[in-house]
Amino acid sequence: MEIHQLRYFRAVAECHSFTRAAKREHVSQPSLSHQIMKLEDELGAKLFNRKGVEIGLTNFGEAFLPKAIAILCQLQEAEREIRDLVETESGHVTLGVSLTLSPYFLPRLLAGFLKQHPSIQVQLKEECATALLDCLRAETVDLAIMPLPVSIEGMSATELMKERLFAVVNTDHPFQEGDQVTLNHLSHAALLLLNDIHCDALPALVPGIVQPHIIFQTACVLTILNMVKAGLGISIMPMMPINEDAGCRFIPIEGEAASRTIALLELQGRYQTRAHRLLARFVRSYSRENAT
């Protein structure tokens, strides 16, 4: 039994096609089919039902697939560990950052880390929080900085900081006359929201808003501010993007629950390279030192 045979088997099982699997594995279809047949001969069982347009697993294939995936994952982890052992100060790590955090939290943090570890290559990926979770599970990012609450099953999360939430209104809005905005006011307002403060998270962030009336969502803070300034609605925004020169007024929302938590998330059980461990340690330390 060869490792490449296990890779081909997994590819066919996931693609439901010998043609698509061969393309994914960068090998000719006859070669891939031949290796699958050799694997079946060695196991003494047919792994695929070859009738119909799409290829399906037999009962033997269903039983064998998780074993094959586990072997391939263990091999990948072993390769990473060996590469890590021969590294000195160099290395590579991929950091995912929420779109509503990266322009404000990331530059100084990354500059400080690279000053201490100039030989480590940090690749960045900007996405909304839910997309970053998918990246963590797919192991296309090593760690991610994002706002909670999100479903973090299978993840380890380290709280980095809390940000108070503010209502953003234009200068003609009656809210500007008060020092704070109540949850009752927000329950009936037309809301313009950043993507990371979406329908699913909003009731957990601000429990008094049961049925939020959201009319627009975007990842761009400037778009939100300009729409608020034009009187199209109000927004709920964390502290980092606040810009007092935007022509809007930023009013604290009443209640201790009106805040969001920023956390460092990592996939549980994944092997961490030295570069990964160094960056994670730096992020935690930086957040403690810069907590407000």
Kindly state whether residues 71 and 103 are assigned to the same domain.
Answer: no
Domain limits at 9? 3-86
Two structure tokens written together for 288: 């403690």
Kindly state whether residues 61 and 175 are assigned to the same domain.
Answer: no
Q: Residue 119 sits in a domain of what CATH number?
A: 3.40.190.290
Kindly state whether residues 96 and 226 are assigned to the same domain.
Answer: yes
Kindly state whether residues 112 and 232 are assigned to the same domain.
Answer: yes
Kindly state whether residues 97 and 9 are assigned to the same domain.
Answer: no
The pLDDT score that the predictor gives to residue 196 is 63
Kindly state whether residues 270 and 129 are assigned to the same domain.
Answer: yes
Kindly state whether residues 42 and 63 are assigned to the same domain.
Answer: yes
Kindly state whether residues 17 and 71 are assigned to the same domain.
Answer: yes
Two structure tokens written together for 141: 């990012």
Residues of the chain with pLDDT under 50: 198-201, 203-204, 210
Kindly state whether residues 50 and 76 are assigned to the same domain.
Answer: yes
- The domain boundary, picked from 86, 115, 139, lies at 86
d(CA 145, CA 97): 5
Kindly state whether residues 119 and 262 are assigned to the same domain.
Answer: yes
Q: How much is the pTM?
A: 0.62
Kindly state whether residues 55 and 181 are assigned to the same domain.
Answer: no
Two structure tokens written together for 132: 């970053």
Kindly state whether residues 65 and 101 are assigned to the same domain.
Answer: no
> Is the distance from CB of 82 to CB of 74 less than 8 angstroms?
no
The pLDDT score that the predictor gives to residue 36 is 92
Q: Which residues are paired to 197 by β-bridges?
A: none
The pLDDT score that the predictor gives to residue 200 is 39
The pLDDT score that the predictor gives to residue 79 is 79
- The domain boundary, picked from 48, 70, 86, lies at 86
Cβ neighbours around 2 below 10 Å, total? 11
The pLDDT score that the predictor gives to residue 220 is 80
The pLDDT score that the predictor gives to residue 8 is 92
Count how many domains the chain has: 2
Q: Residue 79 sits in a domain of what CATH number?
A: 1.10.10.10
- The domain boundary, picked from 37, 71, 86, lies at 86
Of residues 84, 45, 88, 85, the one with CA closest to residue 65: 45
